[in-house]
Amino acid sequence: MAPPVLSDCSACAATRFLPFRRAVSSEAFRFQPSVSLTLKPSSLIAVRSISSDGRSSSAVSAVTMNADTSAKVIDGKLVSKQIKDEVAEEVARMKEAIGIVPGLAVILVGSRKDSQTYVRSKKKACEAVGIKSYEANLPEDSTEEDVLKHISAFNNDPSVHGILVQLPLPRHMNEETILNAVSIERDVDGFHPLNIGRLAMQGRYPLFVPCTPKGCMELLHRYGVEIKGKRAVVIGRSNIVGMPAALLLQKANATVSIVHSQTKNPEEITRQADIVISAVGVANLVRGSWIKPGAVVIDVGINPVDDPESPRGYRLVGDVCYEEACEVASAVTPVPGGVGPMTIAMLLSNTLESAKRIHNFK
Protein backbone atom coordinates (compact mmCIF):
# COMPACT_ATOMS: atom_id res chain seq x y z
CA MET A 1 0.00 0.00 0.00
CA ALA A 2 1.09 3.61 -0.49
CA PRO A 3 2.80 5.59 2.27
CA PRO A 4 0.77 7.87 4.57
CA VAL A 5 -0.38 11.17 3.10
CA LEU A 6 -3.01 13.68 4.11
CA SER A 7 -6.37 13.37 2.53
CA ASP A 8 -9.07 15.82 1.56
CA CYS A 9 -12.11 14.14 3.06
CA SER A 10 -13.76 17.06 4.79
CA ALA A 11 -16.78 15.00 5.85
CA CYS A 12 -14.67 12.63 7.89
CA ALA A 13 -12.81 15.19 10.01
CA ALA A 14 -10.13 12.60 10.36
CA THR A 15 -7.45 13.48 7.88
CA ARG A 16 -4.59 12.84 10.23
CA PHE A 17 -5.57 9.19 10.55
CA LEU A 18 -5.70 8.49 6.85
CA PRO A 19 -2.49 6.78 5.80
CA PHE A 20 -3.38 5.89 2.24
CA ARG A 21 -3.26 7.92 -0.92
CA ARG A 22 -6.57 8.37 -2.66
CA ALA A 23 -5.87 6.96 -6.08
CA VAL A 24 -7.06 9.01 -8.99
CA SER A 25 -9.55 7.02 -10.95
CA SER A 26 -10.97 8.05 -14.28
CA GLU A 27 -13.36 5.13 -14.32
CA ALA A 28 -16.94 6.34 -14.38
CA PHE A 29 -19.11 4.67 -11.80
CA ARG A 30 -21.94 2.64 -13.15
CA PHE A 31 -24.74 3.07 -10.67
CA GLN A 32 -26.27 -0.30 -10.82
CA PRO A 33 -26.65 -2.86 -8.08
CA SER A 34 -23.95 -5.51 -7.95
CA VAL A 35 -25.48 -7.60 -5.19
CA SER A 36 -28.95 -8.96 -4.95
CA LEU A 37 -30.19 -7.68 -1.63
CA THR A 38 -33.58 -8.92 -0.55
CA LEU A 39 -34.86 -9.63 2.92
CA LYS A 40 -35.99 -13.12 3.74
CA PRO A 41 -39.59 -13.03 4.96
CA SER A 42 -38.48 -14.53 8.27
CA SER A 43 -36.10 -11.75 9.02
CA LEU A 44 -37.88 -8.49 8.40
CA ILE A 45 -36.00 -5.94 10.40
CA ALA A 46 -35.79 -2.23 10.76
CA VAL A 47 -33.47 -0.36 8.48
CA ARG A 48 -32.54 3.26 8.57
CA SER A 49 -32.25 5.10 5.31
CA ILE A 50 -29.42 7.57 4.90
CA SER A 51 -30.08 10.37 2.49
CA SER A 52 -27.29 12.03 0.61
CA ASP A 53 -27.07 14.83 3.15
CA GLY A 54 -26.05 12.29 5.75
CA ARG A 55 -29.17 12.45 7.94
CA SER A 56 -30.82 9.19 8.85
CA SER A 57 -34.40 8.27 9.57
CA SER A 58 -35.59 5.11 11.30
CA ALA A 59 -38.26 2.92 9.77
CA VAL A 60 -39.13 -0.75 9.66
CA SER A 61 -39.15 -1.83 6.05
CA ALA A 62 -37.76 -4.46 3.75
CA VAL A 63 -34.37 -3.70 2.23
CA THR A 64 -34.74 -3.61 -1.51
CA MET A 65 -32.22 -2.70 -4.13
CA ASN A 66 -32.55 0.55 -5.93
CA ALA A 67 -30.40 2.41 -8.36
CA ASP A 68 -30.18 5.68 -6.51
CA THR A 69 -27.19 6.84 -4.55
CA SER A 70 -28.50 6.39 -1.00
CA ALA A 71 -27.22 3.30 0.76
CA LYS A 72 -29.31 1.36 3.23
CA VAL A 73 -27.93 1.24 6.74
CA ILE A 74 -27.37 -2.24 8.13
CA ASP A 75 -28.48 -1.84 11.70
CA GLY A 76 -26.33 -4.04 13.91
CA LYS A 77 -27.87 -2.71 17.08
CA LEU A 78 -31.27 -3.89 15.98
CA VAL A 79 -30.06 -7.28 14.70
CA SER A 80 -28.05 -7.89 17.87
CA LYS A 81 -31.15 -7.20 19.95
CA GLN A 82 -33.08 -9.65 17.80
CA ILE A 83 -30.38 -12.30 18.35
CA LYS A 84 -30.27 -11.66 22.10
CA ASP A 85 -34.04 -12.12 22.23
CA GLU A 86 -33.71 -15.42 20.37
CA VAL A 87 -30.92 -16.56 22.73
CA ALA A 88 -32.99 -15.60 25.80
CA GLU A 89 -35.90 -17.62 24.47
CA GLU A 90 -33.72 -20.70 23.90
CA VAL A 91 -32.02 -20.35 27.30
CA ALA A 92 -35.46 -20.31 28.96
CA ARG A 93 -36.63 -23.33 26.90
CA MET A 94 -33.50 -25.28 27.85
CA LYS A 95 -33.84 -24.48 31.54
CA GLU A 96 -37.49 -25.45 31.47
CA ALA A 97 -36.86 -28.71 29.59
CA ILE A 98 -33.71 -30.12 31.22
CA GLY A 99 -32.93 -27.74 34.08
CA ILE A 100 -29.61 -26.63 32.61
CA VAL A 101 -28.50 -22.98 32.47
CA PRO A 102 -25.68 -22.13 30.04
CA GLY A 103 -22.62 -20.72 31.80
CA LEU A 104 -19.84 -18.42 30.55
CA ALA A 105 -16.59 -17.96 32.46
CA VAL A 106 -14.43 -14.90 31.86
CA ILE A 107 -10.83 -14.70 33.05
CA LEU A 108 -9.43 -11.23 33.52
CA VAL A 109 -5.79 -10.70 34.45
CA GLY A 110 -4.69 -7.26 35.64
CA SER A 111 -6.68 -4.07 35.99
CA ARG A 112 -6.81 -2.42 32.56
CA LYS A 113 -9.76 -0.08 32.52
CA ASP A 114 -10.87 -1.01 28.98
CA SER A 115 -10.69 -4.73 29.73
CA GLN A 116 -12.71 -4.24 32.92
CA THR A 117 -15.34 -2.38 30.90
CA TYR A 118 -15.54 -5.18 28.31
CA VAL A 119 -15.83 -7.85 30.98
CA ARG A 120 -18.54 -5.86 32.76
CA SER A 121 -20.56 -5.50 29.56
CA LYS A 122 -20.21 -9.20 28.77
CA LYS A 123 -21.45 -10.04 32.28
CA LYS A 124 -24.38 -7.67 31.88
CA ALA A 125 -25.26 -9.15 28.48
CA CYS A 126 -25.19 -12.66 29.98
CA GLU A 127 -27.54 -11.62 32.76
CA ALA A 128 -29.96 -10.06 30.30
CA VAL A 129 -30.45 -13.34 28.41
CA GLY A 130 -30.33 -15.67 31.43
CA ILE A 131 -26.80 -17.07 30.87
CA LYS A 132 -24.93 -17.53 34.14
CA SER A 133 -21.58 -15.75 34.19
CA TYR A 134 -18.50 -16.71 36.17
CA GLU A 135 -15.51 -14.51 36.67
CA ALA A 136 -11.91 -14.98 37.71
CA ASN A 137 -10.08 -11.73 38.41
CA LEU A 138 -6.36 -12.25 38.82
CA PRO A 139 -3.78 -9.63 39.73
CA GLU A 140 -1.42 -8.26 37.08
CA ASP A 141 1.57 -10.09 38.60
CA SER A 142 -0.04 -13.53 38.51
CA THR A 143 2.01 -16.33 37.01
CA GLU A 144 1.06 -18.28 33.90
CA GLU A 145 0.50 -21.24 36.21
CA ASP A 146 -2.11 -19.28 38.17
CA VAL A 147 -4.03 -18.55 34.99
CA LEU A 148 -3.70 -22.13 33.71
CA LYS A 149 -5.01 -23.42 37.07
CA HIS A 150 -8.14 -21.30 36.70
CA ILE A 151 -8.65 -22.39 33.10
CA SER A 152 -8.28 -26.01 34.14
CA ALA A 153 -10.86 -25.53 36.92
CA PHE A 154 -13.34 -23.99 34.46
CA ASN A 155 -12.60 -26.75 31.91
CA ASN A 156 -13.70 -29.28 34.51
CA ASP A 157 -16.68 -27.36 35.87
CA PRO A 158 -19.86 -28.90 34.40
CA SER A 159 -21.79 -25.64 34.83
CA VAL A 160 -19.33 -23.76 32.55
CA HIS A 161 -19.99 -24.15 28.80
CA GLY A 162 -17.84 -21.33 27.49
CA ILE A 163 -14.49 -19.91 28.63
CA LEU A 164 -13.12 -16.58 27.52
CA VAL A 165 -9.71 -15.17 28.39
CA GLN A 166 -9.88 -11.37 28.15
CA LEU A 167 -7.05 -10.07 25.97
CA PRO A 168 -4.51 -8.54 26.09
CA LEU A 169 -2.76 -10.57 28.77
CA PRO A 170 0.14 -9.06 30.75
CA ARG A 171 3.36 -9.09 28.76
CA HIS A 172 5.08 -11.75 30.85
CA MET A 173 2.51 -14.34 29.75
CA ASN A 174 2.51 -16.46 26.59
CA GLU A 175 -0.86 -15.84 24.96
CA GLU A 176 -0.63 -18.97 22.79
CA THR A 177 0.06 -21.27 25.78
CA ILE A 178 -2.86 -19.81 27.71
CA LEU A 179 -5.39 -19.78 24.88
CA ASN A 180 -4.47 -23.36 23.94
CA ALA A 181 -5.31 -24.47 27.49
CA VAL A 182 -9.00 -23.66 26.99
CA SER A 183 -10.70 -26.94 26.10
CA ILE A 184 -11.80 -26.97 22.47
CA GLU A 185 -15.38 -27.76 23.57
CA ARG A 186 -15.51 -24.50 25.54
CA ASP A 187 -13.52 -22.24 23.17
CA VAL A 188 -16.49 -19.90 22.52
CA ASP A 189 -14.11 -17.32 21.04
CA GLY A 190 -13.23 -19.87 18.33
CA PHE A 191 -9.56 -18.84 18.38
CA HIS A 192 -8.11 -22.34 18.81
CA PRO A 193 -6.07 -23.36 15.71
CA LEU A 194 -8.06 -26.59 15.55
CA ASN A 195 -11.23 -24.50 15.10
CA ILE A 196 -9.51 -22.27 12.51
CA GLY A 197 -8.24 -25.36 10.63
CA ARG A 198 -11.72 -26.83 10.49
CA LEU A 199 -13.05 -23.48 9.30
CA ALA A 200 -10.53 -23.51 6.45
CA MET A 201 -11.20 -27.09 5.35
CA GLN A 202 -13.95 -28.24 3.06
CA GLY A 203 -16.19 -30.86 4.66
CA ARG A 204 -15.05 -29.93 8.18
CA TYR A 205 -16.81 -27.61 10.55
CA PRO A 206 -15.49 -25.76 13.60
CA LEU A 207 -17.12 -26.19 16.98
CA PHE A 208 -17.18 -22.39 17.27
CA VAL A 209 -16.83 -19.55 14.80
CA PRO A 210 -14.99 -16.44 16.11
CA CYS A 211 -17.60 -13.92 17.28
CA THR A 212 -16.85 -10.79 15.23
CA PRO A 213 -16.59 -12.44 11.79
CA LYS A 214 -19.62 -14.57 12.69
CA GLY A 215 -21.42 -11.30 13.45
CA CYS A 216 -20.48 -9.94 10.01
CA MET A 217 -21.88 -13.04 8.31
CA GLU A 218 -25.02 -12.89 10.42
CA LEU A 219 -25.62 -9.31 9.27
CA LEU A 220 -25.22 -10.37 5.63
CA HIS A 221 -27.57 -13.33 6.14
CA ARG A 222 -30.24 -11.39 8.01
CA TYR A 223 -30.22 -8.65 5.39
CA GLY A 224 -30.63 -11.30 2.69
CA VAL A 225 -27.35 -10.53 0.94
CA GLU A 226 -26.52 -13.28 -1.52
CA ILE A 227 -22.93 -14.47 -1.02
CA LYS A 228 -22.55 -17.49 -3.32
CA GLY A 229 -20.71 -16.61 -6.52
CA LYS A 230 -20.09 -13.01 -5.44
CA ARG A 231 -16.70 -11.31 -5.35
CA ALA A 232 -15.73 -10.51 -1.76
CA VAL A 233 -12.77 -8.54 -0.49
CA VAL A 234 -11.64 -8.68 3.12
CA ILE A 235 -9.34 -5.83 4.14
CA GLY A 236 -7.06 -6.94 6.97
CA ARG A 237 -5.91 -10.46 7.84
CA SER A 238 -5.91 -10.59 11.64
CA ASN A 239 -6.38 -13.95 13.34
CA ILE A 240 -9.52 -12.76 15.12
CA VAL A 241 -11.40 -10.96 12.32
CA GLY A 242 -9.95 -10.64 8.81
CA MET A 243 -8.63 -14.16 8.25
CA PRO A 244 -11.64 -16.04 9.70
CA ALA A 245 -14.02 -13.64 7.87
CA ALA A 246 -12.31 -14.58 4.59
CA LEU A 247 -12.61 -18.29 5.43
CA LEU A 248 -16.33 -17.86 6.23
CA LEU A 249 -17.03 -16.02 2.96
CA GLN A 250 -15.10 -18.73 1.12
CA LYS A 251 -17.14 -21.46 2.84
CA ALA A 252 -20.26 -19.59 1.71
CA ASN A 253 -18.96 -19.87 -1.87
CA ALA A 254 -17.89 -16.30 -2.48
CA THR A 255 -14.74 -15.66 -4.53
CA VAL A 256 -12.56 -14.09 -1.87
CA SER A 257 -9.48 -11.85 -2.02
CA ILE A 258 -7.63 -10.63 1.07
CA VAL A 259 -6.17 -7.13 0.94
CA HIS A 260 -3.46 -6.37 3.51
CA SER A 261 -0.57 -4.09 4.33
CA GLN A 262 1.60 -5.57 1.57
CA THR A 263 -1.07 -5.20 -1.12
CA LYS A 264 0.04 -2.76 -3.77
CA ASN A 265 -3.29 -1.66 -5.22
CA PRO A 266 -5.88 -2.05 -2.44
CA GLU A 267 -8.28 0.46 -3.97
CA GLU A 268 -8.40 -1.26 -7.35
CA ILE A 269 -8.92 -4.71 -5.84
CA THR A 270 -11.53 -3.54 -3.34
CA ARG A 271 -13.47 -1.84 -6.12
CA GLN A 272 -14.02 -5.27 -7.75
CA ALA A 273 -15.91 -6.57 -4.72
CA ASP A 274 -19.66 -7.03 -4.37
CA ILE A 275 -19.10 -7.51 -0.63
CA VAL A 276 -16.41 -5.67 1.35
CA ILE A 277 -15.49 -6.48 4.95
CA SER A 278 -12.94 -4.06 6.36
CA ALA A 279 -11.17 -4.97 9.60
CA VAL A 280 -7.92 -3.11 9.56
CA GLY A 281 -8.23 -0.44 12.27
CA VAL A 282 -7.39 2.62 10.17
CA ALA A 283 -9.89 5.49 10.30
CA ASN A 284 -11.51 6.27 6.95
CA LEU A 285 -9.11 4.11 4.96
CA VAL A 286 -11.81 2.94 2.57
CA ARG A 287 -12.97 5.88 0.49
CA GLY A 288 -15.95 6.09 -1.81
CA SER A 289 -13.67 5.51 -4.78
CA TRP A 290 -12.70 2.11 -3.33
CA ILE A 291 -16.28 0.85 -3.47
CA LYS A 292 -18.04 -0.71 -6.43
CA PRO A 293 -21.42 0.92 -6.96
CA GLY A 294 -24.08 -1.26 -5.36
CA ALA A 295 -21.65 -3.18 -3.15
CA VAL A 296 -22.47 -4.15 0.44
CA VAL A 297 -19.94 -2.79 2.95
CA ILE A 298 -19.35 -4.23 6.42
CA ASP A 299 -17.14 -1.99 8.54
CA VAL A 300 -15.49 -3.72 11.51
CA GLY A 301 -13.13 -0.87 12.42
CA ILE A 302 -13.71 1.19 15.56
CA ASN A 303 -11.22 4.06 15.51
CA PRO A 304 -11.09 7.17 17.73
CA VAL A 305 -10.58 10.46 15.88
CA ASP A 306 -10.18 13.94 17.40
CA ASP A 307 -13.45 15.82 17.67
CA PRO A 308 -13.40 19.05 19.69
CA GLU A 309 -17.19 19.20 19.51
CA SER A 310 -17.54 15.92 21.39
CA PRO A 311 -17.57 16.11 25.21
CA ARG A 312 -14.87 13.41 25.27
CA GLY A 313 -12.74 15.26 22.70
CA TYR A 314 -12.95 12.38 20.25
CA ARG A 315 -15.49 10.29 18.40
CA LEU A 316 -15.48 6.79 16.94
CA VAL A 317 -15.35 6.15 13.21
CA GLY A 318 -14.89 3.01 11.14
CA ASP A 319 -12.35 1.95 8.54
CA VAL A 320 -14.77 3.16 5.90
CA CYS A 321 -15.41 6.79 5.05
CA TYR A 322 -19.08 6.47 5.90
CA GLU A 323 -20.52 9.46 4.09
CA GLU A 324 -18.74 8.58 0.86
CA ALA A 325 -19.67 4.90 1.16
CA CYS A 326 -23.33 5.86 1.55
CA GLU A 327 -23.17 7.53 -1.85
CA VAL A 328 -21.86 4.45 -3.64
CA ALA A 329 -22.74 1.26 -1.77
CA SER A 330 -26.15 -0.40 -1.65
CA ALA A 331 -25.84 -1.06 2.08
CA VAL A 332 -23.36 -0.07 4.78
CA THR A 333 -22.86 -0.77 8.49
CA PRO A 334 -22.48 2.38 10.58
CA VAL A 335 -19.86 2.88 13.32
CA PRO A 336 -20.94 2.72 16.06
CA GLY A 337 -24.07 0.59 15.83
CA GLY A 338 -22.99 -1.79 13.05
CA VAL A 339 -20.72 -4.77 13.69
CA GLY A 340 -19.84 -3.67 17.25
CA PRO A 341 -23.00 -4.85 19.02
CA MET A 342 -22.91 -8.11 17.05
CA THR A 343 -19.77 -9.45 18.75
CA ILE A 344 -21.32 -9.85 22.19
CA ALA A 345 -24.55 -11.21 20.66
CA MET A 346 -22.49 -13.90 18.91
CA LEU A 347 -20.62 -14.70 22.13
CA LEU A 348 -23.95 -15.36 23.83
CA SER A 349 -25.07 -17.41 20.85
CA ASN A 350 -21.84 -19.48 20.94
CA THR A 351 -22.24 -20.09 24.68
CA LEU A 352 -25.83 -21.29 24.20
CA GLU A 353 -24.72 -23.50 21.29
CA SER A 354 -21.99 -25.01 23.48
CA ALA A 355 -24.39 -25.81 26.32
CA LYS A 356 -26.83 -27.38 23.86
CA ARG A 357 -24.06 -29.52 22.35
CA ILE A 358 -22.61 -30.64 25.69
CA HIS A 359 -26.07 -31.59 26.98
CA ASN A 360 -27.26 -32.88 23.60
CA PHE A 361 -30.25 -30.52 23.71
CA LYS A 362 -31.92 -29.85 20.35
Q: How far is the CB of 62 from its own copies (least distance, A)?
A: 26
Taking the least distance from each CB to its own copies, the nearer of 103 and 266 is: 266
Q: How far is the CB of 145 from its own copies (least distance, A)?
A: 23
Q: Are strands 132-138 and 103-109 parallel, antiparallel or unpaired?
A: parallel
> Quick check: 334 and 54 in contact, CB under 8 A?
no
Determine, following the binding rule CB under 8 A, whether residue 257 of this chain makes contact with its own copies. yes
Number of residues that bind its own copies (CB under 8 A): 35
The answer to whether 166 is a known catalytic residue is: yes
Spatial separation of the C-alpha atoms in residues 294 and 312, rounded to whole Å: 35
Determine, following the binding rule CB under 8 A, whether residue 308 of this chain makes contact with its own copies. no
Determine, following the binding rule CB under 8 A, whether residue 148 of this chain makes contact with its own copies. no
Spatial separation of the C-alpha atoms in residues 322 and 316, rounded to whole Å: 12
Determine, following the binding rule CB under 8 A, whether residue 202 of this chain makes contact with its own copies. yes
The one segment of 55-63, 105-113, 245-253, 287-295 that binds its own copies by CB under 8 A: 245-253
Determine, following the binding rule CB under 8 A, whether residue 255 of this chain makes contact with its own copies. yes
Query: What's the DSSP call for residue 114?
Result: H
Query: What's the DSSP call for residue 169?
Result: P
Active-site residue, selected from the candidate residues 72, 84, 122, 356: 122
The answer to whether 122 is a known catalytic residue is: yes
> Quick check: 154 and 184 in contact, CB under 8 A?
no
Q: Are strands 46-50 and 72-73 parallel, antiparallel or unpaired?
A: antiparallel
The one segment of 136-144, 217-225, 248-256, 279-287 that binds its own copies by CB under 8 A: 248-256
Spatial separation of the C-alpha atoms in residues 147 and 167, rounded to whole Å: 13
Taking the least distance from each CB to its own copies, the nearer of 10 and 202 is: 202
First to last CA, the chain: 48
**In sequence order, what are the beta bridge partners of 231?**
255
Spatial separation of the C-alpha atoms in residues 250 and 54, rounded to whole Å: 33
Taking the least distance from each CB to its own copies, the nearer of 228 and 312 is: 228
Q: Which residues sit at the interface with its own copies, rule CB under 8 A?
A: 176, 192-204, 228-229, 231, 237-239, 243, 247, 250, 253-260, 262-264, 269
Q: Which residues form the catalytic set?
A: 122, 166, 189
